Structure 1
């Protein structure tokens, strides 16, 4: 990257003079290159990727703005996105992050975000399709959560597994599970909450002052239990986090029964992104769910 040329691109896009003095690589992401930019006007956080990632960056801007508008939990402010030569870029405010903070309050903040209920006629979905990792995520509006979760979440991932050489049985069992989804919702009718959508420990932290931060969202309106389920899939959140959440917005008593159902989506996506043992994990999860439901 020619940082002098890129300074000119940023200045034109943001309609203000930006002079990049240093650009330090930031580790931790699986998909994008990331840099901390030090400029004469302060520090910024930059993501770079191939030009094909430009639509992903555009939807990320929309997601971050939606979380900000909720007034519930802190996330980086998006400042601009675009193309430079053959690369896509996304510029955000730079937040100094740490792994330590008030996890009880982080749970409360997430619960407050989930209180941002969508009351449109078709409440489950989003105004555009976006991405989970770099996998396209369909968000067509549904009035019925079971229909949304089966057709916009599980079925597209199952179809992708077949393009990625997973066993045919995984797809067939997954389709059977979709047909039986109503069994998990006989006594539970979720409302359509504003979701982060990709809430694992690597997508949340704290500022140095202790405030909770979330980033890399994949927002839509859906069952809030999906965010809580993913937060448990890979760890990173303490008991205090769940205590804080339940103080504000207590979970349904049968949440634990639906948790593996919701995490199946992310396990399937991990297979489609990374391959390997995730196909076996997904099939095992489906088999267990079919035995229960």
Structure 2
């Protein structure tokens, strides 16, 4: 009965946000990722996807809603529309447009859409507000200095978290050395401040199903939005796999990558590996160590 009462409260908030009363008649679980619980609320033909978490996670949902709106403003890739977020029944929630993401794979359209997203540029790197990468705070202090941004808003906070988590001296010493040498990776390369998804792994995209208009249209979600080097998004597509070659070919047919990407890819993925260490522990510390040793070997000669 607790769940039913919670869903009724969320239904009231949906009705207030949409101007149409919504009284959930059915609910069923749907994957919400490894951070939040996901459910679908249904009344007749109307459906909404709802993410649930502890009440203290409300800022995470607020940032996610804002990130989705930022992505939507580029009109490049479809995102689920955020409807409302808030607290109910001692939990935080985020209500999103329901999309059936069981459509035919169109990785070429995903690649083309990502290139269009990255062409949406800003005057500085970062974002007007901080947000989250998983449950970790992601600092987005605007800056005109990309190497400095990557040091102070990406690597340094993760290394500080690692130190508090009891990381070994090797990891911390390698991190300090890498931050000292980091500008050397950008001597002949100054990236455009492109609009980035920010957390583009294989679990954060899908395609609209045959039953909906625009079957095969790519959809991205669960963002960690900021403006930065487009290579950071591309690098993450390679970190855990899940992106066919057709995706990459379609992207580079529109906007080829710089020759130095093969080295900088490791620099960008280091951020996510460190974050995974801070969130999940395990073997991510040694993976981070290996990446940092390879990167330092590139600049130290």
TM-score relative to the length of structure 1: 0.96
- Counting matched residue pairs gives 290
CA distance in 1, matches of 2:188, 2:242: 30
SS, match of residue 162 in structure 1 = helix
Stretches (4+) displaced over 4 A? none
- SS at 2:25's partner residue? strand
- Gap regions ≥5 residues in structure 1: none
Shift of 1:175: 1.2
Q: Is the 8 A contact 2:276 2:284 kept in 1?
A: yes
Deviates more, 1:128-137 or 1:22-31: 22-31
Which segments of 5 or more consecutive residues in structure 2 lack a partner in the other structure? 210-214
* Pairing partner for 2:50 from 30, 46, 55: 46
CA contact (8 A) 1:19 1:40 kept: no
Q: 1:269 is matched with which residue? A: 275
Following superposition, the deviation at residue 28 of structure 1 comes to: 5.4
SS in 2 for 1:89: strand
Residue 80 of structure 1 corresponds to which residue in structure 2? 84
Following superposition, the deviation at residue 15 of structure 1 comes to 4.0
User: Cα distance 1:271–1:175, how it changes in 2: closer, same or farther (>3 A)?
Assistant: same
Q: What CA deviation, in whole Å up to 9, does each residue of 1:102-126 have, x standing for no partner?
A: 111110100000000102xxx0110
RMSD of aligned C-alpha atoms?
1.2
User: Superposed, which structure 2 residues align to 1:20-59 within 5 Å?
Assistant: 20-27=24-31, 29-40=33-44, 42-59=46-63
Q: Residues 207-246 of structure 1: matches in 2 within 5 Å? A: 207-208=208-209, 209-246=215-252
Shift of 1:153: 0.2
* Among 279, 289, 293, the residue aligned to 2:295: 289
Equivalence map 1:64-213=2 (5 Å):
64-98=68-102, 100-119=104-123, 123-208=124-209, 209-213=215-219
The Cα offsets for residues 225-278 of structure 1, whole Å up to 9 and x where unpaired, read as 000000000001011101110111111111111111110000000001101100
How far 1:85 moved relative to its partner? 2.5
Q: TM-score, normalised by structure 2?
A: 0.93
Determine if contact 1:48/1:87 at 8 Å carries over to the other structure: yes
* Secondary structure class of the residue paired with 2:176: helix
CA distance change for structure 1 residues 211 and 204 in 2, over 3 Å: closer, same or farther?
A: same
